[in-house]
Chains A and B, each alone.
With several copies, the nearest count.
Chain A
Amino acid sequence: MLPRDFTEEQQMFRSAYRKFLEQEVVPNIDTWREQGIVDREMFKKAGDQGFLMVWPDEQYGGMGDRDFRFEQIIIEETANVYGGDWANTLHSRLVAPYIDRFGSDEQKARFLPRCVSGEIILAVAMTEPDAGSDLAGMRAVAKDMGDHWLLSGNKTYITNGINSDLVIVAAKTDPENNPHAMGLFLVERGMEGFERGRNLKKMGMKAQDTAELFFNEVRVPKENVLGDPSLGFLYLMEGLAEERLIGACGFLSGAQKAFEVTREFCMQRKVFGKPLSKMQNTQFKMAELRTEIDVAQAYVDQCVAVHNRGALTAEDAAKAKLYTSELLCRMVDEGVQLHGGAGYMDEYPISRMYCDARITRIFAGTSEIMKLIIAREVFAENFVEFVDRA
């Protein structure tokens, strides 16, 4: 396994965060899974110890270090204790950056400190019941009422849907004249007309609260609009490379963990008098997967390094998302198969990983969509040959 590249400070951060997870997450994760939601204090605890959001500037309570490897460490360590259904990364690195990128100084000062401390929990609401992930088909609408906007629409599959205190809601702002005009609205807990549906039960990620949200003529003050209310579509696009990279880090951590639990099982389990790990079929399958996982890790780490320089393209991130989600599914599938009957029982972690994995090839852009994005790069006129890429 190739050595990786983290700074000494990051290594220390890793150890400290690992201890934190052992104390706060490991004892509770089963309870959260049963209740279908993580206790909201969890965000506060992580915030208090500086583990929730590393990147915000010190004036907002963060460390001000935007090195993506901190996020990578958080994702890896969380996956390592099967804590992937705590949606901390969604809060800190998928949603909060919208405020950072497009929010005014006033908005940052108003919200970011409480996001960093974990007092405010974040969600983003794009998907709608009938439109799926198809932003063009969106029906939610916000009407400019002079001093405020009137927001109406239904959103679904919203992670942190129940826990969230601040939801970034996408809605069309000029549906008649310009169907691409879309705004991002900061809707706060308690605003009139903002209702939540029940917590949806899911096949995987069971501790993650996923809900339907209803917006019925919600009065959103103008100071709660993020940036230009006609450019929301562009804003959402801008974050895509990072979102896919976050996904890739998570999926690959999942594959790593699934590999390790399968490896353990193969060394202990005996079949026809021999440990499973001594069977040639097991050795070949595990060697193939080990190779693919190691190769993927080099790619993802390289993407992280490039992203730290601000140079990660949407296409390269799409490759990372495609490769790692497909690899994760292959890994958990083979993991269940090598576990035999045990892999089919809820009490073995591999069975839960199997349930969590399948949807990764579907959400945040299906594998088919990733391929179309990559194909555009492949058949572009400005394609660069490999010897000229150095």
Chain B
Amino acid sequence: MHATYSPEERLFQDQVRSFLRNNFNAELAARIREPETFKAATIEWQKKRFAKGWVAPGWPVEYGGCAWTDTQKYIFDGALAEAEAPDVPPFGLKMVGPVIYTFGNEEQKARFLPGILNGDTWWCQGYSEPGAGSDLVALQTRAERDGDDYIINGTKIWTTYAQHADWIFALVRTDTTAKPQQGISFLLIDMRSSGVSVAPITSIDGEHHLNEVRFDNVRVPVANRIGEENKGWTYAKALLTHERTALSGIAYCKQVLNTVRRLAADENDDGQALLASPTLQARMADIEMELMALEYTELRVLAAVAKGGAPGMESSLLKLKGTELQQAVQSLQFDVAGLYGSVLPSTGLAMGHDYGDRARREYMFGRACTIYGGSNEVQKNIIAKFGLGL
């Protein structure tokens, strides 16, 4: 594709690379990776992108988007991957933001969008509930009307980074008599409200990303409801299909592949560079190939969305293949790290490779990606039903 860039596009690429050189480095990357410094460093990085006006490429221009062409977005993502720079957190910018500017009223837009863009407000997502898993229509959290407020009771689970969050966007049941999908509303809830409590969940990698969030008679103003009462499922669905698109993680996969290539060129195995192994080469070629195919698909889907279409079956496709690929690159990275991948870093080792820890952590954490955001089995059902009419 590169051969076809126009001179303007090449100029843009230079600008992006130069921005990254000046604003992102290994030190910042390390702080983003470490749990203790993760939040502050992530916000710092978002603010740099915000200052440049490059924080929300997918948003409409009137709300702060970049008015980029598909090719520009492609160039930008590619440059991020080259620089091994992570994307900004998705909860505000890719999840609740689009819901607010699409379905929210003017007051809500004015109140919430700025904090989402500049990183001042950290959001988390309140969908899943204990026992309900990916089955959102079975949700139990109830909101009872009391004057201008709702009173919320219930529990949300698998809430990523709730420990850092200022706000949560949540689905709650406002009508228990309606059909399961129809009595649900979409609320924005201040995490500092009285009655909100967060309990950590230690996950498979031994780290704390996930939480259980409990609502015990929490008061939420009706003004914090998005759109109409009992129509929350409609808004959530629109968000879900976008979320799945976001879940494909192509830029992340490219980044990991870059790292692996760089390190495998340095590392020796039995006297020659790891990268010279035909097996490693074949695995990299397989993944690169699948990744390219998926990337083109994503570009197509994004182009269709830009023209006003809603991603349907395609978003499931992206989620399914994207998460499979994420696990494939993580597994590859782990194998390249070899024995070094199995030792935790908190013991302050003097030996081994610094990327062993990254390999281990990402491999473990990545195990969830075929489960969350609607498990891959659910995605296949969606494709069979809505995509193929089976």
Contacts and interface: CB of A to CB of B under 8 A. Distances in A.
Interface stretch (B57-65, B237-245, B367-375): B367-375
A141 to B, nearest CB: 18
Contact residues of B: prevailing secondary structure: mixed
Contacts of B270: 134
Contact of B133 (A280, A284, A341, A358): A341
Contacts of A337: 370-371, 375-377
A154 B351 CA distance: 11
Contact of A358 (B157, B203, B277, B363): B363
Interface in A298-336: 333, 336
A12 interface: no
Interface in A189-207: 198-204
B349 interface: yes
B204 A336 contact: yes
Interface residues of B, number: 44
Interface stretch (B118-126, B294-302, B311-319, B334-342): B334-342
B351 A212 contact: yes
Contact residues of A: prevailing secondary structure: mixed
A271 B135 contact: yes
B292 interface: no
B339 A336 contact: no
Interface in B318-347: 334-335, 338-339, 341-344, 346-347
**How big is the A interface, by class?**
35 or more
B201 interface: yes
Interface in A313-370: 333, 336-337, 340-341, 343-347, 351, 354-355, 358-359, 361-363, 366, 368
B202 interface: yes
Contact of B205 (A156, A201, A203, A281): A203
Interface string A83-104: 0000000000000000000000
Contact of B364 (A129, A133, A157, A203): A203
Contacts of B339: 127, 132-133, 157, 359, 362-363
B53 interface: no
B352 A129 contact: yes
Contact of B342 (A203, A284, A344, A366): A203
B91 to A, nearest CB: 18
Contacts of A383: none
A257 to B, nearest CB: 17
A344 B368 contact: yes
Interface in B344-390: 344, 346-349, 351-352, 360, 363-364, 367-368, 370-372, 375-377
Nearest to A351: B204
A316 B279 CA distance: 22
Contacts of B157: 341
A210 B343 contact: yes
A386 interface: no
Interface of B: 128, 133-135, 157-158, 201-206, 210, 269-270, 277-279, 282, 334-335, 338-339, 341-344, 346-349, 351-352, 360, 363-364, 367-368, 370-372, 375-377
Interface of A: 127, 129-130, 132-134, 154, 156-157, 198-204, 210, 212, 271-272, 280-281, 284, 333, 336-337, 340-341, 343-347, 351, 354-355, 358-359, 361-363, 366, 368
Given A344-B210, A366-B335, 10 more contacts: A129-B352, A154-B351, A198-B348, A200-B347, A203-B341, A271-B135, A337-B377, A344-B371, A346-B202, A359-B342
21 contacts: A156-B351, A157-B343, A198-B347, A199-B347, A203-B342, A280-B279, A333-B367, A341-B368, A344-B203, A344-B204, A344-B367, A346-B203, A346-B206, A355-B205, A358-B341, A358-B342, A359-B342, A362-B335, A366-B335, A366-B338, A368-B277
